């Protein structure tokens, strides 16, 4: 939402967090579709601010409907985030990629992401059962289909925030189910 400059905030947070973080890696959430910054130089600034890596956050992956189509057709789509991860990876930063489906995961893996964070579709009321059904085997399948990644973390979108749920349990039924839910969400 257009109420703050996300990248400016994260840059300033770097200065505040780097010292308390100590040896714990600090990742910067970067709005890759920022039209007023050159990502190449911005990544360098993040590194100087104390960040060890980046993540594509806020991501347009959670935007759905006609607006999402519009963004994808206007060079403000998910591809901007893939380019961010590629550039950061080339610069040697740790790259955590929020992915919303298998095609996102493939693109991010090719771009050099060190970790894929499987982000499930938004649940409108935070109902875990609904989310469990939607999530299926997405992370497990990601691990199988995009080998060589350091780790896969499952995250779920809730109204009011995103909660990281740690390593995915194996009981999810199928990746197809999750992707179908995701596609429906987009439409």
CA distance 134 to 158: 13
Using CB under 8 A as the binding rule, whether residue 5 contacts other proteins is answered as: yes
Q: Does 187 bind other proteins (CB under 8 A)?
A: yes
Q: Report in angstroms how near the CB of residue 21 gets to other proteins at its nearest.
A: 23
Stretch that binds other proteins, among 12-20, 33-41, 129-137, 148-156 (CB under 8 A): 33-41
Residue of 6, 17, 21, 115 that binds other proteins (CB under 8 A): 6
Query: Which helix (H) or strand (E) is 94 found in, with range?
Result: strand 94-99
Kindly state whether residue 35 participates in binding other proteins, applying the rule CB under 8 A. yes
- Enumerate residues 68-87 that contact other proteins by CB under 8 A: 68, 70-71, 73-76
Determine contact, residues 68/79, Cβ cutoff 8 Å.
Answer: no
Identify the residue whose tokens are 């179908």: 180
- Give how far Cα 98 sits from Cα of 36, 50, 87, 155, 180, Å: 22, 21, 16, 9, 18
Q: Which stretch binds other proteins (CB under 8 A): 60-68, 103-111, 132-140, 148-156?
A: 60-68
The residue among 75 and 173 lying less far from other proteins, judged by its C-beta, is: 75
Give the end-to-end CA distance of the chain in Å, rounded to a whole number.
21
User: Cβ closer to other proteins: 94 or 100?
Assistant: 100
For tokens 């910067």, what's the residue? 28
Q: Are strands 161-164 and 151-158 parallel, antiparallel or unpaired?
A: antiparallel
- Residue 162, strand partner residues: 157
Q: Of 7 and 102, which CB lies nearer to other proteins in the complex structure?
A: 7
What track of x and - describes contact with other proteins for positions 92 through 121 (by CB under 8 A)? -----------------------------x
Tally of residues, the chain: 187
Residue 28 φ then ψ, to 5°: -100, 130
- Interface residues with other proteins (CB under 8 A) are 1-8, 31, 33-36, 58, 62-68, 70-71, 73-76, 121-122, 124-125, 157, 159-160, 185-187
């Amino acid at each position: 939402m257009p109420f703050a400059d996300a990248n400016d905030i994260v840059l300033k947070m770097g200065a505040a967090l780097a010292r308390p973080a100590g040896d714990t890696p600090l990742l910067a959430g970067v709005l890759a579709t920022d039209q007023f910054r050159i990502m190449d130089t911005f990544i360098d600034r993040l590194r100087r601010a104390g960040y060890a890596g980046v993540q594509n956050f806020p991501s347009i992956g959670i935007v759905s409907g006609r607006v999402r189509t519009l963004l994808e057709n206007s060079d403000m789509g998910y591809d901007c985030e893939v380019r961010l991860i590629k550039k950061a990876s080339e610069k040697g930063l740790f790259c955590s990629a929020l992915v919303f489906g298998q095609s996102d995961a493939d693109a991010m893996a090719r771009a050099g992401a060190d970790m894929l964070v499987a982000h499930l579709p938004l649940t409108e009321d935070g109902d875990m059962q609904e989310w469990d059904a939607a999530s299926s085997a997405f992370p497990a399948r990601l691990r199988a289909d995009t080998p060589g990644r350091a780790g896969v973390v499952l995250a779920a979108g809730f109204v009011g925030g995103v909660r990281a749920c740690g390593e995915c349990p194996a009981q999810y039924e199928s990746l197809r189910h999750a992707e179908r839910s995701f596609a429906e969400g987009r439409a």
